[in-house]
Amino acid sequence: MELNVSKESENKLMGRKEIEVGASFDAVTPSRSDVKEAVCKKMGLHPDLVEIVRIDQAYGTKECRVTVYAYDSKEDMAKGFNRKGKEKKEGTAPAAAAAPAKDEKKEAAKEEKKE
């Protein structure tokens, strides 16, 4: 895999570098972990502080664009990138758990009208 850094900017507010990399490859599309490893090796970054945000590839090509966030610290990483599946804050009930309570109230109201 060959990597070319096309854009690198510092985001001081979020405590990270935002890097755009062009990657070309011969075989199958590399996995996120392979891309992360290659970017860390090329840029001299610590793998625990790097987040692969997206990999864009046009259909049928052997090239892709990779967006990478390289954080300054674990604390910056924890507050920085909004991941899917991130745990909810304590004290908030999921919407699915709140829905049955509404249904129970509706059923109770229907029963009262029948009587």
C-alpha span between 13 and 8 (Å, rounded): 15
d(CA 97, CA 2): 48
Bridge partners of 52, per DSSP, are 68
Other Cβ atoms less than 10 A from the Cβ of 65: the count is 15
At 28, list the tokens. Answer: 């199958």
Cα 68 to its chain centre, rounded Å, is 10
User: Which domain covers residue 73, as residue numbers?
Assistant: 2-114
Percent of the chain at pLDDT > 70 equals 74
pLDDT tens per residue, range 18-70: 999 988 888 888 888 888 898 888 888 888 888 888 988 888 888 889 898 98
Alpha-carbon distances, residue 107 vs 5, 20, 96, 113, 115 (angstroms): 61, 55, 18, 10, 13
CATH number at residue 67: 3.30.70.330
How many domains does the structure of the chain reveal? 1
CA distance 18 to 34: 19
Q: What is the pLDDT of residue 20?
A: 92
